[in-house]
Every structure is written in C-alpha cells, then in structure tokens.
Chains A and B, each alone.
Chain A
Amino acid sequence: MIRDITLGQYYASDSPIHRLDPRVKIIATLLFIIELFIVDNFIGFGICAAVLAAVIIVSRVPLSFIMRGLKPILFILFFTFALNIFMVKGEVIWEWKFLHITREGIQIAVFMAIRLVLLIIGSSMLTLTTKPLSLTDGIERLLSPLARFKFPSHEIAMMMTIALRFIPTLLEETDKIMKAQQARGADFESGGLMKRAKALIPVLVPLFVSAFRIAQDLAMAMEARCYHGGENRTRMHEMKLKTRDFVTFALEAIFLALIIIEARMF
C-alpha cells in the first residue's frame, strides 16, 4: 500500500493549465496573492473569485478535490474570523459583558476570511496542476539569476528533487523497520500519546541510520556519474515559453491592472 502513495497533491490531467510552463504558473500565483492584498472591497474580491473560478474550470480539477485542501485550514479561518470580529475597535453594534462587535470588525473579518479562502485555493491550484518535479525545475530556473550573487538555486532544486525521489524509499524503509520491531513484540497501536511517541523511538533511530547510509551511497553514485554541482550542467528538458504562456502573461497583466484601477476608484 505504501508503494501507491501520491506525492504532493498533483491532479493528473492534460488541461491547458497543466500544460503551462511552471515558471508562468509560479509567477501568476504570486501575483494573484499580491492582488488579493491590494483588493479591499467586494467588487475586487468578486473579480478575483471570477478569475479563480475560470482557472478552475479550465484546469478540469474537480471541486471536491480542491475543497479537500481547505479542510486543514478551517480552524485557522475560524480563529482569524473570531479574532477580527471581536478585537477591532469602532462603531459598536452588539455588546455582551466584555465582548463587543463593531461594524468595522465585521467588515475586516469577512474580508480576511474571503482573502484566506481565495489564497488557499489559488495557491493549491499551482500544486494541483504542476508535477512536483516540474515545480522544482521551475523554481530552479526562476531563481537562477540569483546564482550570480552566490545564491544556491541549483543546490536547493537538487535537494528538493532528491527529497521527492526518496520519500517512497524512506517510507518503505520505515515500514520494514516497524514490521521488524513488531515481530519482536513492539506495540505501536495501544496506549496514550506519550506511550505511542515513545514506542516510535526504536523506529526512528534505525531509520536515521539507514537514511545516512542511503545518503552516502547516493553521494557516491552521483559522483561516479560526474555530478559536480550546477556549473556547466545542461538539462534534457529545455523550458521554452510558448504562445499559451505569453497569452497567460497578457491576461495576468490585464487582471492586475483591473485590480489596481478598481482599488483606486472605490
């Protein structure tokens, strides 16, 4: 069962959004987040939501899949909402003992909630439509101009690639160690939180040892295959911006202009 795990939350499909250059998607997502913070009225949020809805429809990712990603942040959402609604000072419209709700509080709380929901959905669209490996490639190439200032963009991307590659390997290793410990009477399933956490120590120690062994093996194998960092390295997959990428950029620019004008007007 451990062999079938999906990494990240990529939703396999062949939509126009999936085919976009990862760099374009990363930049568009960053711009979308900035836009969400420029906006401060309902019309602006309406535009953002409409754009996001259009992206979701084109991407053919089912809504239920996207909503799943929202679940873990429900608590944070509720918490910020409550905090804003009770803490902001202004024109009081409801009061009970020390609690009071203000008009400004409601407005800020609602805006913040909308902003957070759009932000989470927007950024998960990036990871839903981009394979982890293309994402890594995209990040490497976007950061590569920084290499001139000694920023280790290639090394960071390589680390992410290797991490992605070895997640299943380490999971298999964990499974193997746990089974070996269970065969000798270890109990991982009963007892309270502390007891269970303690039971994991005999798993974690050998896991660390084997992680270091794997690292040493892999480092040697990489050196044997002439790996010497990012210098003079070429890539099999070239990233070339295509027409659809430029169209996306143009649309994104119109969207940004619209948001700025809208925020000025109201």
Chain B
Amino acid sequence: MEKIITIDNLIFEYSKSEGSENIRALDCVNLEIDEGSFTAIIGKNGSGKSTLAKNLNGLLIPTEGTVFVDGYDTADDDSIWEIRQRAGMVFQNPDNQLVSSIVEDDVAFGPENLGIEPEEIRRRVDKALEDVNMGQYKHKAPHLLSGGQKQRIAIAGVVAMKPKIIIFDEPTAMLDPKGRKEIMKIIMELHKEGITVILITHFMEEVIDADRVIIMHEGKVLLDGTPYEVFSQADVIRKANLDVPIMVELGDRLRKEGLDIPQGIIKEEEMVKALCQLKSQN
C-alpha cells in the first residue's frame, strides 16, 4: 500500500529557558502510515503523542530527522500550505478552534484560506455540514451548540478543505459520552470514505476499531501493531501506566481464575461468544 506519511528518525525538543536542558518530547520515532488506514496513537500525558501529531502537519518542525507528508517535507517552508491542506487537524477543545460566530462561515474558513472559488466553497460547505449531520444548524451561532455539535462543526471545517489525512488530537476528551459516540461514528464514516485517519486519544475503547494501534511512552514508540497484537501484550501496556481495554482486562482476570478464555479478545461480542462456547462445553 502507498505510504502517505513517512517519519524518519524524528527527534523533537522543546527549548526551555536559557541555560537549562531542552526537553526531549520525541526520541527517534520511525513510522510509516498507509494511505487510507486508521491509526490510533495512545499514551498518557507527556508521552509525546500530541507533539507527534503536531509534527505531522508542520505546526511543529522536527529538531532532527524528517517527516514527509504525501511527498512533501514538513521542514520545507514553501510546501507548508500544501501539507496543511492535505493533513487536516481537529483539536481537543471544541470552543477554541471555531473562528466565526456563524456555523457555515466557520466551515468556509479553511476553503477561503485556500483561495477557492465562492460557488465551490458553497458546495463544499453544504456537503461537509451534511456529512457531519449538522446541515440544519448552518445559520446558528456555535456558542449555542453542545460540545459534540461544536466538534462536528470543527470536523466539517476540516472536511471542507478536502484533506487526504485527518489528524484527530484527542477530539473527545472534553465531551460527554453522547458527544463522544457521535464523534467516533463520524470518524469511522470518514475512514470508510477513504480518508486516512490518525486518532490520538487516551480512551482505550476508541482504538479497538482501528487498523493499527501505536502506544507512545516517554517520547518513544512502545508498541505498534494491530489492536490484537498490541493488546495481547497487556503487561507491557500496564507497565507504561496505561489501562488496557476492559475486555482484555476481563479476559486476564478470568484466565487467572482458571477459565479457558483465549488470548487476544478485545471486543465485547467476542467475549460473549467465548463465554457462551465455554458454557456449552461444560
């Protein structure tokens, strides 16, 4: 498959006040992301996951190493707008990323910056708002909407720029469970439409449906693989002070009790199936 993002030996350091040592947020990260894939990046606070995300669209420039997005080098000033059009980003706080006090004007902000023709902007804005089921709110003021709705507007604003990749930087962290579900549903739909999704999160339940899970710890990639591969190494995950998905935890405890539950169960329905089989055997 085509590699849309190539990260080679990425080191990123935050410069602190003069005299003191720089803080190394990312330490020799090597990754390749397939076009059209759904990658989840997990890690606790300070693991470097957000810094990694901001390196993917040139908001931060590598201290050492290179990041290539769809063939463009993020360190190259001339291609920065090409990169940001291709790799859109949705941030954590739904309030602090909306620019206009009218929903449709906010969605139009990105395409306007790209210098697209007015009629085409109109089409894209209407389409993007339909995609996130917010069509009927297009003349509303964002501050009258719920957190989940605001976040959907933010997603529409990125979708209207027709990106190949969307990076979600903890998009559900400030939402209630209902808003969280809505956003995850939209992320899955966008992925199905062929957009490369990179989801940064600390909610384990959100990464189960991903094609690939990357666990960050102290600026390094700790684990990298399919959800089954990653979550079968529950001990390593726990050592990084992260929780494992609830079904993995349940499977572990049941095995400890002497029940014959196979490894690598991460979804509820799989657990139900395994338990039913076990019951019918006895």
Task: Show the binding face of A for B, using Cβ within 8 Å.
Answer: 3, 7, 132-133, 161-162, 164-165, 168-169, 172, 213-214, 217-218, 220-228, 232-238
Contacts and interface: CB of A to CB of B under 8 A. Distances in A.
B37 interface: no
Interface string B102-116: 101100111111111
B91 A217 contact: yes
Given A224-B88, A227-B113, 4 more contacts: A165-B101, A214-B96, A221-B154, A225-B84
Interface of B: 54, 57, 59, 81, 84-85, 88-89, 91, 93, 95-102, 104-105, 108-118, 121-122, 125, 141-144, 154, 157-158, 161
A156 B158 CA distance: 25
A218 B94 CA distance: 10
A188 B157 CA distance: 40
Contacts of A227: 109, 113
B97 A217 contact: yes
Tell me which of B99, B100, B114, B142 has the highest count of chain A C-beta atoms within 10 A of its own C-beta.
B99
Q: Is the interface of B mostly helix, strand, loop or mixed?
A: helix
Contact of B118 (A3, A224, A234): A234
Given A225-B113, A226-B110, A236-B108, A169 B101 contact: no
A221 B109 CA distance: 11
Given A169-B95, A214-B96, A236 B110 contact: no
Tell me which of A220, A226, A227, A228 has the highest count of chain B C-beta atoms within 10 A of its own C-beta.
A226
Contact of A236 (B89, B111, B141): B111
Contacts of A169: 95, 143
A235 B84 contact: no
Given A161-B100, A165-B98, A236-B122, A225 B109 contact: yes
Contacts of A238: 118
B99 A162 contact: yes
Q: Is the interface of A mostly helix, strand, loop or mixed?
A: helix
Contacts of B81: 226, 228
Contact of A224 (B57, B105, B143): B57
Contacts of A237: 105, 118
A3 B141 CA distance: 10
Contact of A221 (B91, B112, B118, B142): B91
A172 B147 CA distance: 14
A155 to B, nearest CB: 14
A132 B101 CA distance: 10
A201 to B, nearest CB: 25
A225 B110 contact: yes
B157 A225 contact: yes
Nearest to A2: B143
B91 A234 contact: no
Given A217-B97, A223-B59, A233 B115 contact: yes
A132 B102 CA distance: 11
7 contacts: A133-B101, A221-B97, A225-B158, A233-B113, A234-B116, A236-B104, A236-B108
Given A224-B84, A224-B89, A164 B112 contact: no
Given A133-B101, A217-B97, A218-B97, A234 B59 contact: no
Contacts of B95: 169, 214
Contacts of B144: 3
Contacts of A224: 57, 59, 84, 88-89, 91
A237 B100 CA distance: 13
A107 B121 CA distance: 57
Contacts of A232: 115
A95 to B, nearest CB: 58
Given A233-B115, A236-B111, A236-B118, A226 B97 contact: no
A172 B97 CA distance: 16
